A and B are shown apart, each in its own frame.
Chain A
């Protein structure tokens, strides 16, 4: 069931994200203990697992917001972990959507979606704005281009964040718990946009607690615990009939929190955003 190929790297550009034996320590704490997986073009991979299992750290290593302790990561066949790699260029092909949105508060919605294009990719302003408007329309916010992030609801802000990533014309998007900071009634809008993206064939790696979304949209689910991949496969299998005891325990807690077994500290439901690892 493992998706790790024998040849490193595969040399196939369609293997967009290739991760080999990734380790990450924070001081003495080993957060990732040898993660290997490949995300293919158009694939939607949902990473689930309890808090502190290392899933957010894994995602942040993929675009090098966290420096891996060891291991190799290839993006579109280019090694981002290579000390000589042009990390900034590789990042322009890969969007990231954060739990806390991280929109630029001093810029309007439109400027949030154009600044990367004009500053990094040197695209003329008029073209960039046209591009940004198209993507804002796609997430249903065509009429809010002149607003500032503080004037928007959390769900609207997160959709702007998705439009910002799309405006860079990326090959893939990483989602780091995109709905965890939202009021429950706003989650649906964001998940709807993500579902549309998946249908259009966007490559997506999504760290999430939304089991229904994972089950419905994901092509593959990775269950992580204690810094390793415990189980991965089709969502119907991993979520529907998990093989591993740890997966079963976790899903029981998440899907039916009121009947959770003891050890409430590992509950996966709501959480007040831990710093980096998650």
Chain B
């Protein structure tokens, strides 16, 4: 170390105080924002926008079919979530297993399904019955979607669940084992309930992502009865040569996702408080 390192840097007093400077920057930001809004109002033809995105007659038409499509979106999502949760838990336990081949298998699965686009997985599953004649998923096409999306989300959930299990203190297992519980029972009765409590917020986020991913089922050849929101909106948009039905469908996703995001925020706040 040379002695020059100990020489304090020369401090010069700023010309304007930092607080004043921050206020000026904020004022500039507001000005830009207002300018943008004014520009939009001046240039945008409201009537034109409405005729493309919000045509009243098409909104009414679309809304009539929305309940059925909304139901299908929910059915695809929840089914896939359940498959993902069960499979993800198994994968997480395999990743934490003492048995090395289990760990390898789980790692390969997770890396594969996290790396491959869900769309491709879904397409492949759609053709599975062609590749393997006689193979049929129950409740088709629901079964196909549940399996495909469930297997993809399981890969993501497995990592979350693993983190949750590892967040449960080791003493919990020791206390359970010292009561005479076998390892499996200690996992089921003591570790997993605590792990899932810890990871409820991230799992709910996964549910939100899955809700939107369920729109991917449009790549499967579906009958009208199996249309979910996006596919339903697209078909109506195409036949009417107008985007309004798709916009309405898009807003319907918010009916599902907004309460969920609200829920996540509340749970996270509560966990923060409990800490």
Q: Do A and B bind each other?
A: yes
A265 is an interface residue with CB less than 8 A from chain B: no
Instruction: Flag A120-149 by CB within 8 Å of B: 1 or 0 each.
Output: 110000000000000000000000000000
Question: Complex Cα distance A92/B177, Å?
Answer: 9
B193 is an interface residue with CB less than 8 A from chain A: yes
B119 is an interface residue with CB less than 8 A from chain A: no
Instruction: Give the residue name and chain of the A residue nearest to B193 (CB).
Output: A106
In the complex, the answer to whether A92 meets B194 with C-beta atoms within 8 Å is: no
B171 is an interface residue with CB less than 8 A from chain A: yes
Known: A105-B194, A106-B194, A119-B189. A168 touches B175 (CB 8 A): no
Instruction: Flag B178-192 by CB within 8 Å of A: 1 or 0 each.
Output: 111110010001100
In the complex, the answer to whether B181 meets A119 with C-beta atoms within 8 Å is: yes
A104 is an interface residue with CB less than 8 A from chain B: yes
Known: A100-B171, A102-B171, A119-B185. A65 touches B180 (CB 8 A): no
In the complex, the answer to whether B180 meets A88 with C-beta atoms within 8 Å is: yes
Prevailing SS type, chain B contact patch = helix
Q: Which residues does chain B contribute within 8 Å of A102, judged by CB atoms?
A: 169, 171-172, 174-175
Which A residues are closer than 8 A to B by beta carbons?
Answer: 63, 65, 88-89, 91-92, 94-96, 98, 100, 102-106, 115-116, 119-121, 150, 164, 168
Question: Complex Cα distance A168/B172, Å?
Answer: 17
Instruction: Give the residue name and chain of the A residue nearest to B178 (CB).
Output: A96
In the complex, the answer to whether B171 meets A92 with C-beta atoms within 8 Å is: no
Q: Which of B148-195 contact A (CB under 8 A)?
A: 169, 171-172, 174-182, 185, 189-190, 193-194
Known: A104-B190, A106-B194, A106-B197. A116 touches B180 (CB 8 A): yes
Prevailing SS type, chain A contact patch = mixed
In the complex, the answer to whether A89 meets B171 with C-beta atoms within 8 Å is: no
Q: Which residues does chain A contribute within 8 Å of B189, judged by CB atoms?
A: 115, 119
Instruction: Give the residue name and chain of the B residue nearest to A60 (CB).
Output: B174
Q: Which of B47-99 contact A (CB under 8 A)?
A: none
Q: How many residues of B contact A (CB 8 A)?
A: 19
8 Å CB contact of A104 from B172, B177, B185: B172
In the complex, the answer to whether B175 meets A91 with C-beta atoms within 8 Å is: no
Q: Which residues does chain A contribute within 8 Å of B194, judged by CB atoms?
A: 104-106
In the complex, the answer to whether A91 meets B190 with C-beta atoms within 8 Å is: no
Question: Complex Cα distance A113/B200, Å?
Answer: 27
Question: Complex Cα distance A104/B175, Å?
Answer: 8
Q: Which residues does chain A contribute within 8 Å of B197, judged by CB atoms?
A: 106
In the complex, the answer to whether A116 meets B179 with C-beta atoms within 8 Å is: yes
In the complex, the answer to whether B178 meets A63 with C-beta atoms within 8 Å is: yes
Q: Which residues does chain B contribute within 8 Å of A92, judged by CB atoms?
A: 179-180
Question: Complex Cα distance A98/B179, Å?
Answer: 12
Q: Which residues does chain A contribute within 8 Å of B180, judged by CB atoms?
A: 88-89, 91-92, 116, 120-121, 168
In the complex, the answer to whether B179 meets A168 with C-beta atoms within 8 Å is: yes
CB distance from A149 to the nearest CB of B (A): 11
Q: Which residues does chain A contribute within 8 Å of B171, judged by CB atoms?
A: 98, 100, 102
CB distance from B64 to the nearest CB of A (A): 46
